[in-house]
Amino acid sequence: MNRKRVSIKDIAQAAGVSHPTVSRALRGKGRMSDATRARILQIAEEMGYTPSLVARGLVTQRTESVGLVVADIADPFYSEIIKGVEQVTQASGFSLFLGSAIDDADQEVRMVRSFLGRHVDGLIVSSSLVGNGYQAILEDVGTPLVLINTHVDGSQFHSIYHQDFQGSQQMLRHLIQQGRRRIAYLGNRSAGRAQTERKRAWQTTLEQEGLPTDVTLDCPNSHIQSGFATLPRLLEQAQRIWGEMPDAIVAYNDLVAIGAMKALQRQGLRVPDDVAVMGFDDIEVAAFTSPTLSTWRQPRREMGVRAAEVLLTLLQEERDGEEPPQEIAFSGELVLRESA
Amino acid sequence: MNRKRVSIKDIAQAAGVSHPTVSRALRGKGRMSDATRARILQIAEEMGYTPSLVARGLVTQRTESVGLVVADIADPFYSEIIKGVEQVTQASGFSLFLGSAIDDADQEVRMVRSFLGRHVDGLIVSSSLVGNGYQAILEDVGTPLVLINTHVDGSQFHSIYHQDFQGSQQMLRHLIQQGRRRIAYLGNRSAGRAQTERKRAWQTTLEQEGLPTDVTLDCPNSHIQSGFATLPRLLEQAQRIWGEMPDAIVAYNDLVAIGAMKALQRQGLRVPDDVAVMGFDDIEVAAFTSPTLSTWRQPRREMGVRAAEVLLTLLQEERDGEEPPQEIAFSGELVLRESA
DNA sequence: CTGTTAGCGCATTCAT
DNA sequence: ATGAATGCGCTAACAG
């Protein structure tokens, strides 16, 4: 095996023309006699020619590829982001490099650097731990970057994000309206912007209502198991501080919420009668737990789609002059089911 | 922005040497005075040099990249496969191209072709609908391919698969042992090898025991919602054929099982008292449903890891002569929880 | 309409 | 130990 790939030179020789002519024929550039064009295409087909995007990339300085970095490929939230990005890039003939960097800024940067070495035309980084730090890394090469759900103080980059604060706030308002008064927050230590915003909403909203905000604990990550394992300690905390159980728990996301719900049930507590539980994201399984999970729906897929669209648009514009980075905000919706 | 990237020529000029010298210095090839080497490295560092893997790929004919094609990125089963593959490739300095091809053989081939155009060093395809069809596509270029969970009659390619038949069979034996007699199968029309094997195990095992195999239905895909929506029709079928409800349901996978379980509960049936339910895969959430799901654990992550390892080994061997394609079988384990 | 020449950035001979 | 020349496969000038 490992026969030599056929190149445009091979075709040129077989067709009795020069390689640039083959190149033009293949790409439909410049006018030429239909006869020779047809013949060249025919021969290329017969010889099983596949253009080398590597060589093409070297000369055109465009690889028609995009690099995507997420925190965790297996997290349903990121899965949908990836899916959205892939859908758009694939439709435009771009290839997608995927990398993960679980809660590790160094790893994230290494990933991006490696993509830059591969001359990706653009980058998408979700939940970046670096943010504007990319300014220094990217300014020399000018590769466009779109951030997803990353907090930046005066973003130098285009960014897509979901309005977590507003979402979380509405969830809290709903709980309060339902008469819940002792509302604990079960967070996620390793999340960046998302955790910050959601927790802040929890805190400020409760404070506005004069409700206590002293029972909260962060899971080490956002796995179901984490929520399950951490919840008992949250209850202990409530018992110690309040002298009684919480009547509602707001979780960082659906996974944590599902784990928490199971742990509550294990302790003989009824959801939502004894304690209400709310998640975040509205992953598919949220509608099928027992009780079904009330949560906040985040348009995950669309966010991926949009990020890719913004990036590809940037690539079209061929530096029409530096447009100011835009921030695109997505808002979700409250999904009330049985758990709250 | 978009400043020119710095190349080894730039460094050479700045250091007062020739570019080949820079190339050698950077890669530690060939001996040279420590003084100049140090100076070159220093300058490269200062100028922010990043080697162009595109140019390198063109001359070495190796891109240090791998293409991975899966059916559905968001399916927890594939997510873990991707994660396993990514983990290994990343550790070896390879970059990963990811593509999806949901139940579409043409799309799958297009994806692979596009990766070939990018000169990936190797390919991994999960649940391929094409199988040995790749022989014709790959023989000209000699790019190694590792298949995951793909049925092939005398495989021309290395392949990793899980012994679905044995797993499914053991699940069935357990159900029978528990006294279940009317066991229905809720499948997935769009799955390839996995569906075939699991269903075959259901059928033959029941036949051996003289139990009926006439109640079965396939979901259009393996989403939870599909299981939920299809289950009622399965019950109708049972009612029509047997005149009574099944006492056990074996689902294609955990997602379908979770949907089915919910649908059963909606109909007022108790799981497992009235009807037992078994899934397949042991995805994370399976341990947290109500009741918790009995299932068959498939080492998904390891399968991805192994596929990548096999592929990378193939790449090391530099065609030491064509080793016969090996098939690596994984076996899982029965996970008994509350649902069966 | 087509062929000639050149060069993308790098690694690899071969000289020296 | 280092420099000069060559080519990977392709596109992009410019001639003719």
List, for residues A9-51, the tens digit of each pLDDT value. 999 888 888 899 999 999 887 777 788 888 899 999 999 899 9
Q: What is the pLDDT of residue A183?
A: 98
A194 CB neighbour count, 10 Å cutoff: 25
Q: Is the Cβ of B91 closer than 8 Å to some Cβ of chain A?
A: no
Between A112-116, A182-186, A333-337, B140-144, the lowest mean confidence (pLDDT) is in: B140-144
| Chain B interface mutation, best of A10, A95, A266, A277, highest count of B Cβ atoms under 10 Å | A95
| Matching residue, tokens 């059916």 | B71
Of the two residues A131 and A81, the one the predictor is more confident about is A81
Q: What is the pLDDT of residue A192?
A: 82
Q: What angle do CA B320, B70, B223 make, to 5 degrees?
A: 150
Considering only CB atoms, A97 lies closest to which of B76, B97, B225, namely B97
And the tokens for A75?
């997290």
Contacts of A71 (CB under 8 A, 6+ apart): A78, A100, A101, A102, A103, A126, A127
Strands (DSSP E) along chain B, which ranges?
A: 65-70, 95-100, 122-126, 145-148, 158-162, 183-188, 216-219, 248-251, 276-278, 295-297, 327-330, 333-335
Q: What is the pLDDT of residue A1?
A: 39
Tell me what the mean pLDDT of segment A190-199 comes to: 90
- As separate numbers, helices (DSSP H) first and strands (DSSP E) second, chain B gives 12, 12
Beta strands A295-297 and A333-335 are: antiparallel
Q: What is the pLDDT of residue B322?
A: 66
Q: What is the pLDDT of residue B77?
A: 95
Return the CATH number of A65-163+300-332, one of 3.30.160.150, 3.40.50.2300, 3.20.20.190, 2.60.40.1120: 3.40.50.2300
And the tokens for B292?
């918790």
List, for residues A142-170, the tens digit of each pLDDT value. 899 999 999 888 888 999 999 999 999 99
Listed by start position, the domains of chain B span 8-51, 65-163+300-332, 164-297
Tell me what the mean pLDDT of segment A190-217 comes to: 94
Position B16 pLDDT exceeds 90: no
Contacts of A106 (CB under 8 A, 6+ apart): none
B174 CB neighbour count, 10 Å cutoff: 18
Is the Cβ–Cβ distance between B132 and A130 less than 8 Å?
Answer: no
Distance CA B22, CA B167 (A): 57
Tell me what the mean pLDDT of segment B97-114 comes to: 93
Supply the Cα-derived Rg of chain A in whole angstroms.
26
Q: What is the DSSP letter of B298?
A: -
Which of A148, A109, A99 shows the shortest CA–CA distance to A329? A148
Q: What is the pLDDT of residue B1?
A: 38
Q: What is the pLDDT of residue B15?
A: 87
Q: What is the amino acid identity at position A257?
A: A
Distance CA B145, CA B156 (A): 10
Tell me what the mean pLDDT of segment B146-160 comes to: 89
Confidence label for B320 from pLDDT (cuts 50, 70 and 90): low
Which of B13, B85, B19 shows the shortest CA–CA distance to B52? B19
And the tokens for B246?
């099944």
Which of B219, B221, B208, B151 shows the shortest CA–CA distance to B185? B219
- What integer best gives the mean pLDDT of chain A? 93
Q: Helix (H, G, I), strand (E, B), or coil: what is residue B52?
A: coil
Residue at minimum CA to C1' distance from nucleotide D1: B32
Q: What is the pLDDT of residue A36?
A: 84
Tell me how far apart the 2 most distant CA atoms of chain A are, in Å.
90
Considering only CB atoms, B79 lies closest to which of A79, A116, A118, namely A79
Over pLDDT 90: what percentage of chain B? Answer: 75
Decide: CB of B58 under 7 A of nucleic strand C. yes
Residue at minimum CA to C1' distance from nucleotide D4: B18
Confidence label for A318 from pLDDT (cuts 50, 70 and 90): low
Q: What angle do CA A195, A200, A203 make, to 5 degrees?
A: 125
Contacts of A59 (CB under 8 A, 6+ apart): none
Q: Do domains A8-51 and A164-297 have the same CATH topology?
A: no
Distance CA B101, CA B118 (A): 18
Chain B: residue nearest A83 by CA? Answer: B73
Tell me what the mean pLDDT of segment B222-227 comes to: 96
Q: What is the dihedral of CA B5, B11, B13, B14, to 10 degrees?
A: 110
Distance B124 CA to D16 C1' (A): 50
List, for residues B33-77, the tens digit of each pLDDT value. 788 888 888 888 889 899 999 999 999 999 999 999 999 999 999
> Measured between CA atoms, how close is B203 to chain A, in angstroms?
29
CATH architecture of the domain with range B164-297? 3-Layer(aba) Sandwich (3.40)
Q: What is the pLDDT of residue B27?
A: 85
Give CA B218 to chain center in angstroms.
22
Q: What is the DSSP letter of A284?
A: G
Cis peptide before B299 (omega within 30 of 0): no
Quickly name the fold that domain A8-51 has.
Answer: 434 Repressor (Amino-terminal Domain) (1.10.260)
Distance CA B279, CA B298 (A): 11
Confidence label for A2 from pLDDT (cuts 50, 70 and 90): very low
> Measured between CA atoms, how close is B48 to chain A, in angstroms?
8
B336 CB neighbour count, 10 Å cutoff: 14
Q: What is the pLDDT of residue B2?
A: 44
Q: Helix (H, G, I), strand (E, B), or coil: what is residue B216?
A: strand
Position B335 pLDDT exceeds 80: yes
Position B113 pLDDT exceeds 70: yes
**Alpha-carbon distance values, A4 to A44, A51, B51, B138, B175 (Å):** 15, 13, 26, 12, 56
Q: What is the pLDDT of residue B319?
A: 57
- Residue A297 has φ and ψ, to the nearest 5°, of -85, 125
Q: Which of residues 247-306 of A touch B (CB under 8 A)?
A: 258-259, 261-262, 265, 284-285, 287-290
Which of A119, A122, A139 shows the shortest CA–CA distance to A61? A119
Residue at minimum CA to C1' distance from nucleotide D3: B18
And the tokens for B314?
């193939």
Are B54 and A119 an interchain contact pair (Cβ–Cβ within 8 Å)? yes
Of the two residues B183 and A317, the one the predictor is more confident about is B183
Q: What is the pLDDT of residue B167?
A: 97
Is the torsion defined by CA of B87, B88, B93, B99 positive or negative?
Answer: negative
- What integer best gives the mean pLDDT of chain B? 93
Are B119 and A54 an interchain contact pair (Cβ–Cβ within 8 Å)? yes
Q: Which residues pair with A183 in a beta bridge?
A: A248
Position B318 pLDDT exceeds 70: no
Position B244 pLDDT exceeds 60: yes
Tell me what the mean pLDDT of segment A320-338 comes to: 88
Distance B3 CA to D13 C1' (A): 22
Position A133 pLDDT exceeds 70: yes
Is the Cβ–Cβ distance between B303 and B84 less than 8 Å?
Answer: yes
Is the Cβ–Cβ distance between A161 and A209 less than 8 Å?
Answer: no
Q: Is the Cβ of A5 closer than 8 Å to some Cβ of chain B?
A: yes
Q: Is the pTM of this model over 0.85?
A: yes
Q: What is the dihedral of CA B51, B54, B58, B62, to 10 degrees?
A: 90
Position A3 pLDDT exceeds 60: no
Q: Is the Cβ of A223 closer than 8 Å to some Cβ of chain B?
A: yes
Position B172 pLDDT exceeds 90: yes
